[in-house]
Amino acid sequence: MLVDRFLRYVSFDTQSCEESATIPSTPGQTVLARALAEELKEMRMEEVALDDKCYLTATLPANTNRKIPAIGFIAHLDTSPDMPGKDVRPRIVDYKGGDIVLSEEDDIVLSPKMFPELTDYTGQKIIVTDGKTLLGADDKAGVAAIISAMEYLLSHPEIKHGRIRIAFTPDEEIGRGADHFDVDGFACEWAYTVDGGQLGELEYENFNAAAAKVSFRGLNVHPGTAKDKMLNASLLAMEFASRLPEAERPESTKGYDGFYHLTAMSGSVEEASLSYIIRDHSRELFENRKENMRALVNRMNEAHPGSTAMDMHDQYYNMKEIVAPAKHVIDLARDAMTDVGVTPLVKPIRGGTDGARLSFMGLPCPNIFAGGMNFHGRYEYLPVSSLEKSMKTIIRIVELIVDHQTNHS
């Protein structure tokens, strides 16, 4: 049922769109949310509510009189706009090792030569695409794991638990997933986003993040008479980009390394622009990076007065500031993984999740694995065993909370 559920969810086209001004950014997210709401009602989940901004919540009521903290599990409805997400054609492969041909006609091959971790799943069932779309395990695997865990708990009332809340949010992939999340209404002491990748991922550190758009104004003069008059805005943009450290780009960094990432550019002689995202796990280094950008703008204007302007804003911060002091939340997830036969893989997120912003909104919210690999591209795949372990981890977290409260009461 878990796998069937996931395969059904990926048939919905739910790509978010950064250029859209609507909430949610695309109508397909609402279509999926409505289908999930009906499914949750049929399961007899309570307080099933879908608001006008496409936030879907539901409740599994406590089945014990013990005083158990209310907790939540959260996943997002949208898929990345980086790769087509319409007409996804998943198939299950009994992986015996070597290459997996996704599309013979287009010569698209999922190979351990490019993705050596693929060999870790030899002998397992793997869900792949036809190489023409992403799969959507980010985060429909999380949605499937959460709903299947709730279904299991409903059918096993002998497992005692406190009040459990679940939520499915829109537009996480474009940084808007927490914009209208009602933390007070969710009413949990803490929660987990089920939005991680590899089996065992447990994450409570993420980047501090900012976005910047740098604009350049030139002076266009006929090239035949341009000497000492023309100022080429596109060349100013190239000069600006060249002054940022080459070793501090995403392709040259890993682990806790921060970076400046040029995400888009446009230009002519008259005007040009560069779009950047700025990332660092250290708040101090993050602030230094932003100051470096401001200083570079000033230097450009010293050389070419009035030529360069920048609009920069913070996007989210490192949830470690909030989650690390609530160590029991992390320990609980780590113990649950161990109990279901998963080795916890604690590492920093080189990105962000809804949980980062939710943590700063008053809901401590680390991230646990859903099992997918190679998110946001045609080579995305989902080992079935990893998805099953994600569901079991959720169930075990619920069980351990009751055990913990009983042992300390």
Enclosing H/E stretch for 345: strand 345-346
| Cα(316)–Cα(286) distance, integer angstroms | 11
The predicted pLDDT at position 406 comes to 56
Task: Give the span between the Cα atoms of 303 and 218, in whole angstroms.
Answer: 13
User: Which pLDDT does position 396 carry in this prediction?
Assistant: 98
CATH 1.10.240.10 fits 2-205+319-407, yes or no: no
User: How many Cα atoms are found within 13 Å in the side-chain-facing hemisphere of 105?
Assistant: 2
Please give the pLDDT value at position 409.
Answer: 47
At 206 the three-state DSSP class reads: strand
Q: 364-398: b or e for each residue (b if 16 or more CB lie within 10 Å)?
A: bbbbbbbbbbbbbebbbbbbbbbbbbbbbbbbbbb
Q: Residue holding tokens 């013990």?
A: 66
172 is catalytic: yes
Question: What is the per-residue pLDDT for 405?
Answer: 63
271: part of which helix (H) or strand (E)? strand 271-280
Please say if 403 is a catalytic residue: no
CB contact at 8 A, 51 and 105:
no
Of the residues 13, 130, 172, 195, which is catalytic?
Answer: 172
Catalytic, out of 13, 78, 130, 138: 78
Q: At what angle do helices 137-155 and 27-42 cross, to 10 degrees?
A: 10
Per residue in 31-46, pLDDT (tens digit) is 999 999 999 999 999 9
Residue with tokens 């470096």: 292
Cα of first residue to Cα of last residue in the chain, in angstroms, is 37
Q: 208-316 has which CATH code?
A: 3.30.70.360
> 146, 165, 140, 144: which is closest to 29 by C-alpha?
140
User: Where do the domains of the chain lie?
Assistant: 2-205+319-407, 208-316
Residue 152, Cβ neighbours under 10 Å: how many? 17
Tens digit of pLDDT at every position of the chain (409 positions): 999 999 999 999 999 998 999 999 999 999 999 999 999 999 999 999 999 999 999 999 999 999 999 999 999 999 999 899 999 999 999 999 999 999 999 999 999 999 999 999 999 999 999 999 999 999 999 999 999 999 999 999 999 999 999 999 999 998 899 999 999 999 999 999 999 899 999 999 999 999 999 999 999 999 999 899 999 999 999 999 999 999 999 999 999 999 999 999 999 999 999 999 999 999 999 999 999 999 999 999 999 999 999 999 998 899 999 998 999 999 999 999 999 999 999 988 888 788 999 999 999 999 999 999 999 999 999 999 999 999 999 999 999 998 876 554 4
For 77-207, list the strands marked E by DSSP.
91-94, 100-103, 108-110, 125-128, 164-169, 190-196, 201-203
What digits encode the pLDDT tens for the residues 159-179?
999 999 999 999 999 889 999
Cβ contacts of 319 within 8 Å, gap of 6 or more: 204, 205, 206, 355, 356, 359, 360, 364, 365, 366
pTM for the full predicted model? 0.88
